[in-house]
Structure 1
Amino acid sequence: MSRLVISEISKNFGAIQALTDVSLSIEPGEVLGLMGDNGAGKSTLVKIIAGNFRPAAGEIRIDGKPVIFHKPLDAQREGIEMVYQDLALSDNLSAASNVFLGREPMRSFGPIRYIDYAHMNSVSGELFKQLKSETRPRDLVRKMSGGQRQAVAIARTLLSEPKIVMMDEPTAAISVRQVAEVLDLIRRLRDRGISVILISHRMPDVFSVSDKIAVLRRGQLVSSKAAANSSPEEVTGLITGAIDAA
């Protein structure tokens, strides 16, 4: 059974048609590379899946169950997590504090309640170990590389044991070595059976980790096929319109 199925999703903003009858599916433990030019509808689609927008038409199913999201919390309850391009991390806090931000575990000593930092550090350390990241729980985020920051953002999603993680341009504006770290993190998620939707303009990164590649152009799905059956040249043609569909 597919982990996520979206059927004939459409969305408009006034007179602007952002998406038209988009249908896609992703399997458990599969990486879907979502590509398209600026304005193609990628952000709108993932925001619908993440519960930020309501579609004008269409259906979303998670593990075969129809779902309706009124807000992002509804999507999170169904196992959908989003890692945005800006990562939404607090530079002045430690890695562990960022992993648990807004979900800090509390302990009590008589009438006094306090944050259980020992538990946060222990759980965060285990998550980083699972991701095979060199990030340490007590490290300050402001001193971290781009790859380490991505590890913190991904570890935060793992707290809720997600079914689907969507990542927006995770390899933008970081070094070659850090790109390799982030791509390894994506593979770790896949190995855990988590489905990953990777939104990126970086063709080599998408082809190196994706099992399937979907291309949007002007709000319409023009291709969805196994990465092994496609090529960077074909995807470029689909994005630009030199190739109508594939």
Structure 2
Amino acid sequence: MNPTTPVEDTVSDQSPHAFSGREPVLQARGLVKRYGRVTALAGADLELYPGEILAVIGDNGAGKSSLIKALSGALTPDEGEILLDGLPVRLRTPIAARDAGIETVHQSLAVSPSLDIATNLFLGREPLRPGLLGSVFRMLDRPRMRAEAARHLDALGIMTIQNPGQAVETLSGGQRQAVAVARAAAFGDKVVIMDEPTAALGVRESRAVLDLILRVRDNGSPVILISHNMPHVFEIADRVHVQRLGRRVAVLDPRACSMTDAVAVMTGALDPVELPEEAHAPGAVR
């Protein structure tokens, strides 16, 4: 994708209106989380639909992190419910979320630099050798891991990494991010959550990661993108969820709403009801 391509040519060809009336893949209803006298989530809602990139934006203290932690199993809400494919689920731990098909790429990446790329992709899911070598001696099936790692990297068009046996510590920041994204895409068969994926990257590496997120979506995994970078959000998001004071205040259509208005809604300088009707993206369940 050419960095000079106009924004309207780089967003999804699928209109946000296509999500209206469809069953969300992932839904949060009325999530509440309190820490003593501090309320991090005050009845937060969210819907993620098949085939979309949903951006979540909000000022510091808006509850974005708590919302994502609830969806990824890192915290248990005090009230509310989470539904996956329309069915209530209890995501008490990150492992439970992973088992349900929800993968998260954290801002800290959570890769092991001293291990190779293939091992990082299968971290915690390492396949064992067939027969006695695996069942008795617990030997890892490294040839399979490297072959499948190469397949996953190729499926996402990650051409800058040629050797799955290469140590992650030898990779650039963008390549490490690509490894983390590839791991999430490989196992996140329901949802992939990405927390500030371009925060520590330069312009060129950010461009590659944005292209990677689009490929993850196009390969069939809906994506929740948390980002403070408004140009990135408006370039690739299908809908924009605005979080403020612990709850959702608006879901915007990035094709019909300006970045200035989105920031104004996010900070409370603009009431969402003051925006024209077409600026509001459909699909929010009331």
TM-score by length of 1: 0.95
Pairwise CA RMSD: 1.5
Q: What letter corresponds to residue 199 of structure 2 in structure 1? A: A
**Percentage of matched positions with identical amino acids:** 43
Q: SS of the counterpart of 1:102?
A: coil
Q: Equivalent of 2:149, from 113, 124, 127?
A: 124
Tell me, in whole angstroms, the C-alpha distance in 1 between the residues paired with 2:57 and 2:208: 21
Measure how far apart 1:129 and its partner are: 0.2
> For residue 133 of structure 1, what is the aligned residue in structure 2?
158
Q: Equivalent of 1:166, from 193, 205, 213?
A: 193
Q: What letter corresponds to residue 33 of structure 1 in structure 2? A: A
Q: What letter corresponds to residue 66 of structure 2 in structure 1? A: T
8 A Cα contact 1:217 1:239, kept in partner? yes
Tell me, in whole angstroms, the C-alpha distance in 2 between the residues paired with 1:24 and 1:42: 11
CA-to-aligned-CA distance 1:118-140 (integer Å, 9 cap, x gap)? 11110000000001002231222
Q: SS of the counterpart of 2:187?
A: coil
Measure how far apart 1:161 and its partner are: 4.4
8 A Cα contact 1:29 1:189, kept in partner? no
Tell me, in whole angstroms, the C-alpha distance in 1 between the residues paired with 2:95 and 2:137: 30
Deviates more, 1:24-33 or 1:135-144: 135-144
Structure 2 residue 227 is matched with structure 1 residue 200: yes
8 A Cα contact 1:5 1:26, kept in partner? yes
> For residue 60 of structure 1, what is the aligned residue in structure 2?
82
Deviates more, 1:129-138 or 1:105-114: 105-114
Deviates more, 1:208-217 or 1:105-114: 105-114
Tell me, in whole angstroms, the C-alpha distance in 2 between the residues paired with 1:139 and 1:214: 38
* Structure 1 consecutive aligned stretches of length 4 or more whose deviation exceeds 4 Å: 108-113
Matches within 5 A, 1:1-246: 1-107=23-129, 108=131, 112-134=137-159, 135-136=161-162, 137-246=164-273
Q: Is there any run of 5+ residues in structure 1 with no aligned partner, and where?
A: none
8 A Cα contact 1:131 1:151, kept in partner? no
Q: Indicate the structure with greater strand content.
A: 1
8 A Cα contact 1:94 1:138, kept in partner? yes
CA-to-aligned-CA distance 1:90-119 (integer Å, 9 cap, x gap)? 111111111112222222566644222111
Q: SS of the counterpart of 2:206?
A: helix
TM-score by length of 2: 0.82
Tell me, in whole angstroms, the C-alpha distance in 2 between the residues paired with 1:232 and 1:139: 40
* Pairs aligned (count): 246
Measure how far apart 1:43 and its partner are: 0.3
Q: SS of the counterpart of 1:227?
A: coil
Tell me, in whole angstroms, the C-alpha distance in 2 between the residues paired with 1:102 and 1:3: 25
Give the direction of change, closer, same or farther, for the CA distance of 1:245–1:121 in structure 2 (3 Å limit).
Answer: same
Q: What letter corresponds to residue 106 of structure 2 in structure 1? A: Y
